[in-house]
């Protein structure tokens, strides 16, 4: 069993990064080599900007290469609840921004010629309890009136056409969602950015960030110092560098995944006959999909803990037990991959993007990052060009989380709370 992400292990390694020291002056310095930073770099370069991307590790080495491989439309939250909170007009606009985000991923793949197994398979949101089905149905009824008339419900009796399991009580279909190979997408984005003139420096953590006279910024790394007219922070949960303002507003939560050995086609046809992305309605969520080489990927929160070798193995065993509860026929199936990553959760599980103290930023995707991060990279290129109105999150304030200064001492308490919620509701 490999403790490396399946996506990174089965994709080409990006090797066209900039050689030599980090130095000189550029129009834009992008900090972070995940989907946000790479997408923004491509969009900025297409506008004619000189761009340097600084990545602390390897491109796609964090959340962008460690997720479930899903490119889903729709909120993580209940749409009915979002409409009650923000009003149906705002909820509809935000919901449709996720539709646009999936479209943006597909457009970039086509325009840049990226081979990453992108397919519009749809998403199946599974009701873990009868009451959860009623809640999904209430949201779907509202969605059907305008925000997404292509959604529809699947009753428990009808679920056999979608899922080879009796664990769930029906579900909701989102037809616009897609699946793809994350490692190949990362490699394709990085290659496209380099082709357009972006200088990508890996192993170049930003350790110092200073605002100079006027609007320029100085960024220090172990490889040298660069000056930039504008800076975009696309760092997610990064623990590296002078980012305390953002760390106080993001809680890094571990997400864990396992991937089986390749499975027979007839078995997969019984488990997931339509090959949809699937996720349930629990706080300790389980999600799963079929990989391009016919393995089952199964992920979830498993534990409210940080990722690390020992933590990943412990979480992987929990996930394997959960997988067998959903699919008992996989009892003797080998697990080939097990890994974890950190999700950049905001308090309300909605992204944040804008400008603070002269620095542009986009982060806090809260587990729905693939499509939204790619989209927001493109959007932030426009925002940095003065088109602020295009930012769907521009009107959202972002207060610090009380008592949170970086270390996540409270994660076990949060985990206990959500475990209780899953028991009670």
Q: Please state the domain extents for the chain.
A: 6-414
Cross-strand partners of 257: 299, 339
Q: What is the pLDDT of residue 412?
A: 61
Q: Is the pLDDT of residue 105 over 90?
A: yes
Distance CA 417, CA 404 (A): 17
Give 410's pLDDT tier (boundaries 50, 70, 90): low
* 294-318 mean pLDDT: 84
More confident residue, 309 or 50: 50
HSE of 190, CA atoms in CB hemisphere, 13 A: 29
**Which two structure tokens, joined as six digits, stand for 86?**
């923000």
HSE of 258, CA atoms in CB hemisphere, 13 A: 25
Q: Is the pLDDT of residue 214 over 80?
A: no
More confident residue, 201 or 303: 201
More confident residue, 96 or 344: 96
Q: For 212-215, which contacts have Cβ atoms below 8 Å and span 24 or more sequence positions?
A: 215/358
Q: Which helix (H) or strand (E) holds 90?
A: helix 88-112
* 24-41 mean pLDDT: 98
More confident residue, 71 or 413: 71
More confident residue, 419 or 241: 241
Identify whether the C-beta of residue 384 lies closer than 8 Å to the C-beta of residue 362.
Answer: no
DSSP string, 233-285: E--TT--SSS-HHHHTT-EEEEEEEEEESP--HHHHHHH-TT--EEEES-SS-
For 272, 274, 349, the CA distances from 36, given in Å and listed in that order, are: 31, 30, 17
- Residue among 44, 68, 309, 282 nearest 178 (CA): 68
Give 425's pLDDT tier (boundaries 50, 70, 90): low
For residue range 316-372, what is the model confidence (pLDDT) as tens digits? Answer: 999 999 999 999 999 999 999 999 988 888 989 899 999 999 999 999 998 888 999
For residue range 377-399, what is the model confidence (pLDDT) as tens digits? Answer: 999 999 999 999 999 999 999 99
Q: What is the pLDDT of residue 368?
A: 84
* 109-135 mean pLDDT: 97
Distance CA 28, CA 44 (A): 8
**Which two structure tokens, joined as six digits, stand for 389?**
């109105």
Q: What is the pLDDT of residue 305?
A: 66
Give 252's pLDDT tier (boundaries 50, 70, 90): confident
* 84-89 mean pLDDT: 95
Q: Is the pLDDT of residue 10 over 60?
A: yes
**Which two structure tokens, joined as six digits, stand for 28?**
């834009």
Distance CA 142, CA 130 (A): 19
Question: What percent of the chain is modeled with pLDDT above 70?
Answer: 94
Give 402's pLDDT tier (boundaries 50, 70, 90): confident
Q: Which CATH superfamily is domain 6-414 in?
A: FAD/NAD(P)-binding domain (3.50.50.60)
**Could you give phi then psi for residue 176, rounded to 5 degrees?**
-85, -10
Q: What is the pLDDT of residue 380?
A: 98
**Could you give phi then psi for residue 118, rounded to 5 degrees?**
-80, 125
Length, in residues, of the chain? 425
């Amino acid at each position: 069993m490999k403790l490396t992400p399946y996506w990174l292990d089965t994709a080409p390694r990006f090797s066209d990064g900039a050689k030599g020291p980090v130095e000189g002056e550029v129009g834009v310095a992008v900090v972070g080599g995940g989907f946000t930073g790479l997408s923004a770099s491509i969009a900025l370069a297409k506008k004619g900007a000189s761009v340097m991307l600084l990545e602390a590790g390897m491109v796609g080495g964090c959340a962008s290469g460690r997720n479930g491989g899903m490119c889903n439309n729709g909120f993580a939250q209940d749409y009915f609840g979002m409409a009650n909170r923000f009003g149906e007009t705002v909820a509809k606009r935000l919901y449709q921004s996720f539709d646009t985000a999936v479209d943006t991923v597909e457009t970039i793949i086509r325009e840049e010629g990226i081979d990453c197994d992108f397919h519009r398979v749809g998403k199946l949101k599974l009701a873990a309890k009868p009451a959860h089905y009623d809640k999904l149905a209430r949201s779907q009824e509202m969605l059907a009136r305008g925000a997404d008339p292509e959604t529809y419900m699947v009753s428990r009796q009808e679920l056999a056409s979608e899922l080879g399991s009796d664990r769930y009580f029906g579900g909701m279909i989102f037809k616009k969602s897609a699946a793809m190979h994350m490692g190949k997408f990362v490699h394709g984005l990085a290659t496209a950015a380099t082709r357009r003139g972006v200088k990508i420096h890996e192993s170049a953590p930003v350790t110092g960030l200073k605002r100079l006279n006027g609007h320029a910024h100085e960024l220090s790394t172990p490889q040298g110092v660069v000056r930039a007219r504008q800076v975009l922070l696309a760092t997610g949960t990064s623990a590296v560098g002078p980012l305390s303002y953002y760390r106080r507003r993001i809680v890094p939560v571990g997400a864990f995944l396992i991937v089986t050995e390749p499975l027979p086609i007839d078995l997969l046809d019984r488990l997931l006959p339509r090959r949809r992305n699937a996720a349930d309605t629990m706080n300790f969520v389980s999600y799963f999909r079929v990989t391009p080489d016919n393995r089952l990927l199964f992920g979830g929160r498993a534990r409210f803990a940080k990722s690390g070798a020992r933590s990943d193995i412990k979480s992987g065993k929990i996930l394997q037990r959960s997988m067998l509860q959903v699919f008992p026929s996989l009892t003797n199936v080998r697990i080939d991959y097990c890994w974890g990553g950190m999700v950049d959760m905001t308090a309300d599980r909605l992204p944040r993007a804008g400008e603070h103290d002269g620095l542009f930023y986009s982060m806090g995707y809260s587990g729905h990052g693939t499509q939204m991060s790619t989209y927001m990279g493109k959007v932030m290129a426009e925002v940095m060009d003065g088109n602020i109105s295009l930012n769907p999150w521009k009107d959202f304030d972002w207060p610090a989380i009380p008592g949170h200064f970086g270390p996540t001492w409270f994660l076990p308490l949060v985990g206990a709370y959500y475990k209780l919620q899953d028991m009670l509701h």
